[in-house]
Structure 1
Amino acid sequence: MRDLWGSAATRWLGVGLASVLAVVTLGLAATGRLALYINPDQSWFAIGMAVLALVGAVASFALPLGAEDDHGHDHGHDHGAARGEEPDEGRGRPVVPRAAASSLSRAATWAGGLAASAVAVGAIVLPPAPLSVELAMARDTGTAPLFAGADDVLLAAADTSTFGVGDWASVFSTATNPDTFEGAHVTLTGFVTPDETDDATMRLGRLVITHCVIDAQPASLPVTSPGWQDDLETGAWVEVDGVVTTNASGALVVEPREITPIPAPDDPYEY
């Protein structure tokens, strides 16, 4: 009975957890919420791997429970004795008692298994949720996100009408000739955060994802709006319609024509 329980636990840690994560991935894809975790351009890979994992899980049922343990157990245990060699104790090497080593290994396996199981079950039970505005503010170092924009952005060769907050943040921080972008019309969506250097300016923020939420980077733009604190709270989502211009110090800012509060979008990220 103990062997069967051990085999069942081994199969759960392998095939079981992989199947759970595969089902979660396919469920998120079917409900359109996979983008809360990975870049939509890479959804095909995640879905393909999930399907492959489920096919492997189904195929594993052809293997009787416990059969995965019946290999290699008697290979080489007594080779030294057969050759008349002394045990390890005679070679000056420390020897860990087999029972103690087995107990430590079993404890580590159970601890890892419980942690992995908790993650897998949590993925099923807990509803998908985007990263918070507070996290974005905590990660914000005032620099533009890496990989947001390309050389054609810096050379003003791209169509700026398609730019999001991340693209414009790259432009604002790297443009060597700000006049090139002055007067460009923007319609941008993001969350509001304060500008630590200017009370008359608010920051329009967004989290930018390259591959998945683990690499999410905050991007933000200065929006000139004296008294914005009277109408908006930190973390509120807004749509800003305005133009790019330069301030008194020559830095690029957004001059809004209209700032409209909106509900938080279903997909709060840029990619």
Structure 2
Amino acid sequence: MREFAARWGGVALVAIGVVSIVWLAATGRMTLYVHPAHVPFAVVMAVLGGVLVAVACATDERRGRGAAAREPGSGRRAASSLAAVGVLAVGMLVLPPAALSPALAADRVTDVAPALLAGDPADAVGADSSEFTVRDWASVVASGADPGALAPPEALIGFAMPSDELGEDGFVLTRFAITHCAIDAQPVGVEVSLSGWRSRLAEGEWVSVAGVFGARAEPGRAPVIEATSVEPIPAPEDPYVR
């Protein structure tokens, strides 16, 4: 076993990674971790890496069978290799793929940085807003454009997070926006006015919101959605906005 682990532990790690990436891409779950545009690249590089490792193993004649197991410290390396293989196998092959938890939004700033803007907000005025996501509406609001010039949102989907400004009178309808992969995911959102929302919704619960944008009483404050309907829904199959 020690000889096997010392000789093939690294190969097993690569094989698990390749199989996991190809399987996630084939089942459409790779987009839980990377932007859809980068899935083909990830698959190609994974397969290429697997081929190179296979070629290296087939042509490695510099060390005889069992030499790695006879080197000093090979027992510790074999144990570490087995542990790494076990952890990676459980994490990538046993545990089901999962999206980022809404709880992470509390640890990241809910904002609309310039890199996250969904195109030019000025182009949105007069456009069909029926397909707008939270990111699109957040972009319009952050730009200072008048969201009232657009058709009101009828089924805007996101998860409910507390709003420092609205307190018990509203929440932030939030989605994670991904630029490249889940590591750079940034929560973006729009505020929804709904008195006593905590008695109806749990923090992080997915909802579909309908309403109209209304101006704040305080000058210079961003408009909020005055909700006419807030319905809890299951988490969408694709929880991110691009």
With the shorter chain as reference, the TM-score category is 0.7 to 0.9
Q: 5+ residue gaps in structure 1?
A: 71-101
**Looking at CA atoms only, which structure, 1 or 2, has the larger radius of gyration?**
1
Change beyond 3 A, Cα 1:23–1:142: closer
Aligned length: 230
Contact 1:145-1:166 within 8 A present in 2 as well: no
Q: Does 1:190 align with 2:158?
A: yes
Match of 1:266 among 213, 230, 237: 237
Q: Does 1:205 align with 2:174?
A: yes
TM-score normalised per structure 1: 0.72
Q: Which residue of 1 aligns with 2:21?
A: 25
TM-score normalised per structure 2: 0.79
Q: Secondary structure at the match of 2:58?
A: coil
Q: Which amino acid aligns with 1:28?
A: L
Q: Does 1:253 align with 2:219?
A: no
Q: Which residue of 1 aligns with 2:67?
A: none
Shift of 1:235: 1.5
Q: Does 1:143 align with 2:111?
A: yes
Say which is worse superposed, 122-131 or 19-28, in terms of deviation. Answer: 122-131
Residues 125-204 of structure 1 aligned to structure 2 (within 5 Å): 125-139=94-108, 141-145=109-113, 147-150=115-118, 152-154=120-122, 156=124, 160-175=129-144, 178-179=145-146, 181-186=148-153, 187-198=155-166, 199-204=168-173
Deviation track 1:204-244 (CA, whole Å, cap 9, x = no partner) reads 11111111111111112101111222221111111112233
Query: For 2:189 and 2:110, how far apart are their aligned partners in 1?
Result: 8
Deviation track 1:165-186 (CA, whole Å, cap 9, x = no partner) reads 12322332332xx436545322
RMSD: 3.1
Query: For 1:174 and 1:111, how far apart are their aligned partners in 2?
Result: 56
Query: For 1:184 and 1:44, how far apart are their aligned partners in 2?
Result: 36
Q: Which residue of 1 aligns with 2:88?
A: 120
Q: What is the identity percentage for the equivalent residue pairs of Structure 1 and Structure 2?
A: 40
Query: For 1:129 and 1:68, how far apart are their aligned partners in 2?
Result: 42
Q: Which residue of 2 aligns with 1:238?
A: 207
Query: For 1:109 and 1:164, how far apart are their aligned partners in 2?
Result: 50
Shift of 1:10: 4.9
Query: For 2:158 and 2:123, how far apart are their aligned partners in 1?
Result: 25
Q: 5+ residue gaps in structure 2?
A: 65-70
Contact 1:242-1:255 within 8 A present in 2 as well: yes
Deviation track 1:96-145 (CA, whole Å, cap 9, x = no partner) reads xxxxxx979x7996687467435422211211111111111221x24225
Q: Which amino acid aligns with 2:224?
A: V
Deviation track 1:30-88 (CA, whole Å, cap 9, x = no partner) reads 22211111111111111112222333344345335xx2448xxxxxxxxxxxxxxxxxx
Query: For 1:110 and 1:244, how far apart are their aligned partners in 2?
Result: 62
Q: Which amino acid aligns with 2:111?
A: T
Q: Which residue of 2 aligns with 1:56?
A: 52
Q: Which residue of 1 aligns with 2:184?
A: 215
Change beyond 3 A, Cα 1:129–1:160: same
Deviation track 1:241-262 (CA, whole Å, cap 9, x = no partner) reads 2233322124221122321211
